[in-house]
């Protein structure tokens, strides 16, 4: 490009940046709402109660998360965490898969969808249905994934799910039978979708070789994922069982988590399955939800880069104190992998995965990495109290050990949230069916307007005024009612 033309483009880009920076500052002043107003009007910001618990917004038979009891004054009383899938305790389910050394994710998917554990014949039939759906529609990978890659795998997964609408002869039919058929397609397709989205991203954005392996219908979800992610397609049976366990533990977490609630919300509008699942993927992508597992991985990487000896407990403690003081890692003051919105004394998923992670780490020569996770789990809550002066129960969550598992399995860092989506798809599909069958009412919460009425000013009479730097106080009168003649 000619130098004068380049200078002109750069100047234009700079003006554009200045404009949006200036307008954003105005919005930051204009859109602030005084926190006292939430108290005044008894509005539960973030659908959270004052003690941090979620506002009860619905009922479900699919999953139940139990992490605290309520005291006489409504306070949270810490208890050991429990997680139930259709009434079955997760520890009870997983113990049998580990003991029998068999894959359980497909059986868990059946349980979540249909509400009961399958017989051997029913499971064989169900696995056969999924096997028939492992291969993507003809030309889909080439036309929808490879020709339009994205640096965000989660974004590309959303677009791929939406694109499947065009391959469906009856996409807007929301009868339970048709929705179930659509969901079975998605469950079958998902390993190939996430693997091909990753391979496209690796080639076009990371300058890495692309290795495309077709799925093998007879293999489990975990086996197919490892096969399609790895250059040679080879994997160890134990590795696949560990990944299968991780998928089981992330398949469902009640109806109140952000992505499950998005599933209910969109399903209540009677929209199509592809729009619903794409929205759930979008919700999970956020760093405050499913993207949190990447935050753990990045924190561990930063710790290793700044601590000379990760086996030196004193040095690790010093790093964690710096994190809490916002002097290390991303400056948020958070030790990722510690604490949970519901669980207090323990996260049952973390307790289960911890055992398998330890065995896998030993096989991979990563005993020091496992010991590091153990120290973060043990010392994180104590150091938090020392630094902040706040005493509250904080347990290791599943993200702490899932990060170690993915590293030990040589799974790329940016595949951690797509794997989460693959697991949680089973829960989303179950919640969508539940809403279609028993909900039948548009979810329509209310927001209270707190902007004062203002008279219209003619364009020729308007003058630019400085935006307020402070928020409108709670004493501001509520908007006057609009009177109809």
Active site residues: 340, 399
> 138 phi and psi, to 5 degrees?
-55, 125
DSSP 194-247: HHHHHHHHHHHHH----------TTS-HHHHHHHHHSSS----HHHHHHHHHHH
294 to each of 82, 155, 276, how far by Cα in Å?
24, 15, 24
Q: Where are the beta strands (DSSP E) in 270-425?
A: none
Query: CA 198 from chain center: how many Å?
Result: 17
Q: Which 8-state DSSP code applies to residue 167?
A: G
The DSSP 8-state label assigned to residue 146 in this structure reads I
In whole angstroms, give the CA distance from residue 223 to residue 212.
15
Pairing of strands 76-85, 88-89: antiparallel
Sheet containing strand 76-85, edge to edge, reads 63-70, 76-85, 88-89
- For residue 375, CA distances in Å to 23, 131, 319 come to 46, 42, 12
């Amino acid at each position: 490009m000619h130098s004068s033309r380049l200078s002109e483009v750069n100047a234009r880009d700079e003006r554009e940046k200045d404009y949006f920076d200036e307008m954003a500052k105005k919005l930051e002043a204009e859109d602030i709402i005084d926190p006292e107003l939430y108290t005044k009007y008894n509005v539960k910001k973030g659908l959270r109660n004052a003690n941090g618990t979620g506002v009860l917004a619905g009922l479900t038979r699919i999953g139940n998360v139990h992490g605290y009891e309520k005291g006489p004054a409504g306070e949270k009383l810490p208890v050991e965490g429990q997680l139930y899938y259709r009434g079955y305790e997760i520890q009870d389910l997983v113990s049998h898969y580990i003991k029998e050394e068999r894959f359980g994710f497909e059986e868990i998917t059946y349980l979540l969808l249909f509400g009961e554990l399958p017989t051997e014949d029913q499971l064989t039939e169900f696995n056969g249905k999924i096997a028939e759906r492992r291969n993507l529609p003809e030309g889909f990978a080439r036309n929808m994934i490879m020709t339009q890659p994205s640096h965000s795998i989660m974004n590309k997964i959303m677009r791929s799910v939406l694109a499947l609408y065009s391959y469906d002869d009856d996409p807007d039919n929301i009868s339970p039978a048709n929705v179930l058929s659509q969901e079975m397609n998605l469950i079958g397709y998902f390993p190939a979708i996430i693997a091909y989205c990753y391979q496209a991203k690796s080639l076009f954005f990371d300058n890495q070789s692309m290795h495309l392996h077709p799925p093998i219908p007879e293999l489990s979800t975990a086996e197919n994922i490892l096969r399609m992610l790895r250059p040679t397609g080879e994997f160890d049976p134990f590795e696949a069982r560990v990944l299968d366990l991780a998928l089981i533990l992330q398949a469902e977490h009640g109806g109140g988590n952000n992505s499950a609630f998005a599933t209910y919300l969109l399903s209540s509008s009677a929209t199509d399955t592809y729009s619903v699942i794409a929205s759930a993927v979008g919700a999970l992508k956020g760093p405050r939800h499913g993207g949190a597992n990447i935050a753990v991985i990045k924190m561990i990487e930063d710790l290793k880069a700044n601590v000379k000896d990760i086996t030196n407990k004193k040095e690790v403690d010093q790093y964690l104190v710096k994190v809490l003081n916002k002097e290390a890692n991303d400056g948020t003051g958070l030790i990722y992998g510690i604490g949970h919105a519901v669980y207090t004394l323990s996260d049952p998923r973390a307790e289960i995965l911890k055992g398998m992670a330890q065995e896998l780490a030993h096989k991979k020569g990563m005993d020091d990495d496992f010991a590091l996770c153990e120290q973060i789990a043990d010392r994180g809550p104590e150091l938090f109290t020392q630094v902040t002066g706040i005493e509250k129960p904080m347990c290791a969550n599943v993200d702490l050990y899932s990060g170690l598992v993915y590293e030990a399995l040589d799974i790329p860092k940016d595949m951690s949230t797509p794997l989460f989506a693959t697991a949680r798809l089973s829960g989303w599909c179950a919640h969508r069916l539940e809403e279609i069958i028993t909900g039948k009412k548009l979810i329509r919460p209310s927001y209270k307007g707190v902007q004062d009425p203002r008279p219209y000013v003619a364009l020729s009479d308007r003058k630019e005024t400085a935006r307020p730097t402070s928020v409108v106080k709670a004493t501001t009168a509520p908007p006057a009612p609009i009177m109809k003649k």
